Amino acid sequence: MRALRTVPAFAAALVLVVMTAVTAAQTPEAVRAAATPPVTDLDDGSYRLGPGDTIEIKFMSNPELNELVVIRPDGRISMPLVGELLVANSTIAELATRLSTAYVDILKTPSATIQVRDFANRRVFVGGEVARPGVLPLSGRQTALSAVMEAGGFRGSAARDEILVIRKGNEDEPRVLRLAAKGQDGKAPEAAKFALQPLDVVLVTESGVARTNRAIDQYVRQMIPISLTWLFGNTVGLD
Domain CATH code at residue 80: 3.30.1950.10
Q: Are 75 and 51 in contact (CB under 8 A)?
A: yes
pLDDT in tens, 200-233: 999 999 887 544 655 666 666 665 555 555 555 5
Residues of the domain holding 213: 123-231
DSSP labels, 125-158: EEEESBSS-EEEE--SS-BHHHHHHHTT-B-TTB
Q: Are residues 139 and 99 in the same domain?
A: no
Query: Within a domain: residue 169?
Result: yes
Query: Taking CA 34 as the corner, what is the angle to CA 31 and CA 36, rounded to the nearest 5 degrees?
Result: 115
Q: Are residues 144 and 200 in the same domain?
A: yes
Over the chain, what is the mean pLDDT?
Answer: 75
Residue 18, pLDDT above cutoff 70 = no
Pick from 23-32, 114-123, 198-207, 218-227: least confident: 23-32
Q: Are residues 137 and 72 in the same domain?
A: no
pTM of the prediction? 0.51
Q: Are residues 177 and 192 in the same domain?
A: yes
Domain boundary among 78, 94, 118: 118
Alpha-carbon distance 135 to 233, whole Å? 19
Alpha-carbon distance 153 to 41, whole Å? 28
Q: Are 74 and 50 in contact (CB under 8 A)?
A: no
Q: Are residues 209 and 192 in the same domain?
A: yes
